Amino acid sequence: MTTPVLEKIDALKVKIDACRPLDVHLLKQVREYFRIGMTYTSNALEGNSLTETETKIVIEDGMTIGGKPVRDHLEALGHSEAYDLLFRLAKNRDITEANVKELHRLFYYRIDVKQAGKYRNRRVIITGTDFIPPAPDRIRELMESFIAGLSEARAKHHPVEFSAIIHKELVTIHPFIDGNGRAARLLMNLALLQAGYPVAIIPPVLRRDYLNTLNKTHKGDDKPFINFIAGLCHESTKEYLRLLEG
């Protein structure tokens, strides 16, 4: 499906591609810029109290922030490691089940090493929604089916649509005991990077819109969520081009 927003994103991508190959130092700076933004926003959506500046200090300077929970620091460091993995995996065309598990493991091993990268073995309840995640004994089968269908879904949809769809699919399966939202956003951005698009960042100020549109997917309406993600991709692509041209 082609929409005006997707057309705008692709027009911006053409301009970005015209700048390639990027200067290695500029590319590093741009990646670090998005590392901080993506780590801060993805963690903040889940209640992490670190500000963007504090996230930068923890990741780049290795310093702790007085009065902030230890877990918040560990989440910042873990997400930063998972961010690095995105770019290594982006060199491949496919997404495997092992990729999904490793993204979660890197983010989560400092929090709970026994659960990091492992499928949950008990039921979970998600507050603020009437959605009930699948029973734990169905997760392996659902994940295998999800991974098996990725190639067909990638061929069928625009890359931005595909990234939104796999995000909602992983959240719907809810395979991990915790960190499913962050794992889904990492997976979404892996798909974008593999297709040559910048990562998409979801500002905490849009948390309500994010959750509302995501909840609609559980009731069979994917369009609002896809449109929401497309809008964010448009903003990220504009920002990426601004940094290149700046």
Instruction: Please give the positions annotated as active site.
Output: 174
Supply the Cα-derived Rg of the chain in whole angstroms. 17
Pull the structure tokens for residue 28. Answer: 């590093």
Judge if the upstream peptide bond of residue 21 is cis by omega within 30 degrees of 0: yes
Half-sphere exposure of 43 (CA within 13 A, CB side): 28
Measured between alpha carbons, how far is 218 from 232 in angstroms, rounded to an integer? 21
The Cα 55–Cα 77 span in angstroms is 9
Report d(CA 28, CA 7) in Å as an integer.
28
Residues 164, 226: contact at Cβ < 8 Å? yes
CA 118 to chain centre: 18
Alpha-carbon span 205 to 227, nearest angstrom:
17
Q: What helix, strand, coil percent values describe the chain, rounded to 5?
A: 65, 0, 35
Query: In angstroms, rounded to a whole number, what is the distance separating the alpha carbons of residues 162 and 153?
Result: 7
